[in-house]
Structure 1
Amino acid sequence: MASAAAGDGSLLATERYGSAERWRYYSREGGMERRREGGEGQQQRGNSLVGAFKSVFLPQGYPDSVSPDYLHYQLWDTAQAFSSSLSGTLATQASLRGAGVGDQEATVAAATITWLLRDGTGMLGRIVFAWWKGIKLDSEAKKWRLFADVLNDMAMFMEILAPYFPPFYTLIVCTAGVFKALVGVAGGATRAALTVHQARRDNLADISAKDGSQETLVNLAGLLLSLLLIPLVTDNPPLTLGLFFLFTVLHLFSNYKAVSSVVMETLNESRLSIVLRHYLRDGRVLTPPEANQREPVFFEFKKSVAVKLGVRLQEVVQSREELSLALRRHHQPFLLGVKNGCVCVCLGSTASVHDEIRAACQALWISSALTSRTPGGPQHSHWELVHESHQLMDSTFATFLKGLEAAGWDLRRTLLDWDEWRVDWKTKHN
């Protein structure tokens, strides 16, 4: 094609718009002629309504400017937002009826007080939850994203049931308000964490803006369908509950598929544990898609020894002798110990990201060893396990780290839950 075109004039320049369009400029009769690669039919399709839709609702430079999992996640996220919008309509109608809308005996003051109490308790819940679990919302974005939507469905279910329990209406509505406040914090924070993952050109604002446009479009569609649903469900509790459960199932399934489709290239505790266990067992480092596929998206309640990263020195050692044990035969910028049923890591001020990954690997290995202990089996002291973890990492970590890089993991940063304590210690105790 290029040789045929060159018969009309020489090629002067080429240009492209991401991976969506490619153009060539040829000299022609003293001027320039611009031709699109792929022919006129492709150009017409590019100027179609689909092209305009993409321009309005997808980030600039899509798909090159976002992560590979962007479209899959957004499609399922759109489905969950649509079903949530319909469930919200049913819950709002029930709340208004419970507050006295349509009841001649109800007073404006009573309804206002109920709404103020609901909003007030929700504000307090938002502050407490952000303080309590704020750091976890980055490292466990998938789990908290799904948790937020489950909690949102619970809150709406409570709002639907509240009118049928008049003596407890205010208590139920206030509890639902607290749940929705937690949803607002967890949902907003995890959405921000996922946006950081999706943004491949530092285009967080564009992705957030387009996500808002997508959500607005979905809510508009939900609003139109809600106008048809309201006359049907009014004064019809069985139909209201039936539709709510239908939308809830769709909502939760869509959310599960959405968070399961996310492929994070940064290591958190769960993904690092999965990759490390597989490497120590089979000698191969899992790629990000493989590890993310195995990462649980629901909170697990199985019994395991907890890991605490970045703790104070006194949470690792409480005497000069223990400090000597912690420092014995190793010179890493971190200390490990087991206190009060937890594996604790004290981080030095000079520790790098690679040091953080190694410390977390050792802590996870110790946690796994303690969890798998059998009551009647041989028991090793905690310090023996610490020294065994150092020996294991001395022989395997360099190769493991190279394997992580080769597999495509981003080692410039991590999503491990490090607290802010940093300690400098004297090494002559060993």
Structure 2
Amino acid sequence: MSGNKGPVVPQCWERFGSGRPRRCTAAPDGSLSWEAGGGPGRGLRAALTAVFLPHGFPDSVSPDYLPYQLWDTVQAFASSLTGSLATQAVLQGVGVGNAAASVSAATITWLLKDGTGMLGRIGFAWLMGSRLDCEAKKWRLFADVLNDAAMFLEIVAPAFPSYFTLIVCVSSLAKCIVGVAGGATRAALTMHQARRDNMADVSAKDGSQETLVNLAGLLVSLLLLPLLSEQQSLSLAAFFLFTVLHLYANFRAVRAVIMETFNEARLYLVLKHFIQWGKVLTPPLANRMEPLWTGCHPALSLSLGVPLHSLVSSAFELQQVSEGHQQPYLLRWDRCRVPEGDNWTIVKETYQILDRLYPKFLKELQAVGWETERHLLEVDEWRAAWPQGEKKIL
């Protein structure tokens, strides 16, 4: 029995997230010991990571998370400073610090400002709500540009006392549109960044980061505002400086986002490159080529889920769209772009091309990393059903 050395412990390794693996070994007395390192770490850096970054970072978020958040931090800091300048201007305009100012007049101005903004928020959500998911990057950039424009109106409003109420109402309207567009697109980007069903954690840590940045902006504003309060030209110069920084950081932040799902612009770019060169653009390349301004649209415009009467107007046309085609969808070119006599010929040829190219196209999309199970295309709710039960998407 003296030669018995005890049970043989199999080799074992463990790893914390994407850290270095560490090995478990058995000591002579039978206890287990672990190599140093490989854990979550200690010290200030580890503490800041735990407080401000999602659990499991970087594996729990998309690869573009860190560059986006760094530029988003810069833009939030610049926006905090410009917001302080704009708030100071509005307070001066309603009479804060002016003994001759009327409290009731200031209250009415503030109520009109808030009421205009509320109406604008409802109207914008009604008109553009369905598009914010599809064009999250464009609308995020649009929201920040509009926010800067709104704050500029607040900065200059005190210089036009006769039109002060009108100007601040327009500014409030713009800021409420910013609130809808910015909040909705932030949610869409958070969904893209969360890779372990951890959207709530990613959103919460983003809020912590923004709170810290706003706190830093508040401290800087406390030092800056006393120096600028009596010098309008210097205040405008500081506003324009911070605005330029804000817009540049926003552009870099949005450009850093690499989405693997298709919206209309990314699909157009990938299809065009595939038809021309026979190869599929990778998500990073297509995202870098994607236009980021809302007025820039691809040459081809898609309408998905449209009513049947917008495609056909006679029994002959209805027979044309369904004859000899077994796919669960219908295609139709815009009548304004294609001569009516050639329309159905082009549609049939399009079906044949799609049947030939689509399997290869789909395979290459999946090979380079595109998400093919879901998309960000704007699809309406219209559907058509034939008597035999076959459904077609228009």
Length-normalised TM-score, structure 2: 0.92
Q: 2:14 matched to 1:20? A: no
> Does the CA-based 8 Å contact 2:265-2:297 persist in structure 1?
no
Aligned residue number for residue 237 of structure 1? 232
- Residue 299 of structure 1, CA deviation: 2.1
> Does the CA-based 8 Å contact 1:310-1:421 persist in structure 2?
yes
> Does the CA-based 8 Å contact 2:264-2:302 persist in structure 1?
no
Aligned residue number for residue 106 of structure 2? 111
> Does the CA-based 8 Å contact 1:262-1:292 persist in structure 2?
yes
Counterpart code for 1:413: R
2:166 to 162, 165, 171: 171
Taking structure 1 as reference, are residues 250 and 13 closer, same or farther at Cα in structure 2, changes over 3 Å only?
same
Counterpart code for 2:34: R
Counterparts of 1:19 and 1:326 in 2: how far apart (Å)?
54
- Residue 290 of structure 1, CA deviation: 1.2
Where 1:226 maps in the other structure, the secondary structure is helix
> Does the CA-based 8 Å contact 2:259-2:287 persist in structure 1?
yes
Aligned residue number for residue 347 of structure 2? 386
Counterparts of 2:70 and 2:142 in 1: how far apart (Å)?
19
Aligned residue number for residue 367 of structure 2? 406
Counterpart code for 2:381: E
Where 2:332 maps in the other structure, the secondary structure is strand
Runs (5+) with no aligned partner, structure 1: 1-8, 342-369
Aligned residue number for residue 357 of structure 1? none
Output aligned runs, 1:197-208, within 5 Å.
197-208=192-203
Counterparts of 1:59 and 1:379 in 2: how far apart (Å)?
56
- Residue 103 of structure 1, CA deviation: 1.2
Aligned residue number for residue 62 of structure 2? 67
Counterparts of 2:341 and 2:277 in 1: how far apart (Å)?
25
> Does the CA-based 8 Å contact 2:81-2:217 persist in structure 1?
yes
Aligned residue number for residue 4 of structure 2? none
Aligned residue number for residue 259 of structure 1? 254
- Residue 330 of structure 1, CA deviation: 2.1
Aligned residue number for residue 116 of structure 2? 121
Aligned residue number for residue 157 of structure 1? 152
Aligned residue number for residue 292 of structure 1? 287
- Residue 402 of structure 1, CA deviation: 0.9
Counterpart code for 1:397: Y
Output aligned runs, 1:6-85, within 5 Å.
13-20=12-19, 22-28=21-27, 29-37=29-37, 46-85=41-80
> Does the CA-based 8 Å contact 1:125-1:182 persist in structure 2?
yes
After superposing the two structures, state which structure 1 stretch, 319-328 or 285-294, moved more.
Answer: 319-328
> Does the CA-based 8 Å contact 2:13-2:23 persist in structure 1?
yes
Counterparts of 1:337 and 1:427 in 2: how far apart (Å)?
22
Q: 2:366 matched to 1:422? A: no
1:397 to 345, 358, 372: 358
Where 2:385 maps in the other structure, the secondary structure is coil
After superposing the two structures, state which structure 1 stretch, 306-315 or 241-250, moved more.
Answer: 306-315
After superposing the two structures, state which structure 1 stretch, 385-394 or 54-63, moved more.
Answer: 385-394
Counterparts of 2:48 and 2:298 in 1: how far apart (Å)?
49
Aligned residue number for residue 5 of structure 2? none
Taking structure 1 as reference, are residues 391 and 12 closer, same or farther at Cα in structure 2, changes over 3 Å only?
closer
> Does the CA-based 8 Å contact 1:79-1:251 persist in structure 2?
yes
CA deviations 1:31-63 (Å, max 9, x no partner) are: 22222257xxxx7x9312111111110000000
Counterparts of 1:223 and 1:20 in 2: how far apart (Å)?
36
> Does the CA-based 8 Å contact 1:159-1:173 persist in structure 2?
yes
Where 2:261 maps in the other structure, the secondary structure is coil
Q: What is the number of residues matched between the two proteins? A: 381
CA deviations 1:126-184 (Å, max 9, x no partner) are: 11111111111101000000000000000000000111111111111011101110111
Aligned residue number for residue 4 of structure 1? none
- Residue 380 of structure 1, CA deviation: 6.4
- Residue 10 of structure 1, CA deviation: 5.5
Counterpart code for 2:376: L
Taking structure 1 as reference, are residues 299 and 380 closer, same or farther at Cα in structure 2, changes over 3 Å only?
farther
Counterparts of 1:338 and 1:180 in 2: how far apart (Å)?
39
Where 1:415 maps in the other structure, the secondary structure is coil
Q: Give RMSD over aligned pairs.
A: 2.1
Counterparts of 2:24 and 2:298 in 1: how far apart (Å)?
66
Runs (5+) with no aligned partner, structure 2: 1-7, 390-394
- Residue 322 of structure 1, CA deviation: 1.5
Which has a greater percent of strand? 1
Taking structure 1 as reference, are residues 15 and 304 closer, same or farther at Cα in structure 2, changes over 3 Å only?
closer
Q: 2:126 matched to 1:131? A: yes
Percent identical residues: 56
Counterparts of 2:297 and 2:334 in 1: how far apart (Å)?
20
Counterpart code for 1:262: V
Counterparts of 1:419 and 1:225 in 2: how far apart (Å)?
48
Counterparts of 2:263 and 2:367 in 1: how far apart (Å)?
18
Where 1:139 maps in the other structure, the secondary structure is coil
> Does the CA-based 8 Å contact 2:140-2:185 persist in structure 1?
yes
CA deviations 1:331-378 (Å, max 9, x no partner) are: 22122224574xxxxxxxxxxxxxxxxxxxxxxxxxxxx4xx9xxxx9
Counterparts of 1:384 and 1:248 in 2: how far apart (Å)?
53
Aligned residue number for residue 248 of structure 1? 243
Counterparts of 1:321 and 1:174 in 2: how far apart (Å)?
55
Counterparts of 1:61 and 1:303 in 2: how far apart (Å)?
38
Counterpart code for 1:165: F
Taking structure 1 as reference, are residues 18 and 305 closer, same or farther at Cα in structure 2, changes over 3 Å only?
closer
CA deviations 1:218-237 (Å, max 9, x no partner) are: 00110010011111110211
Length-normalised TM-score, structure 1: 0.84
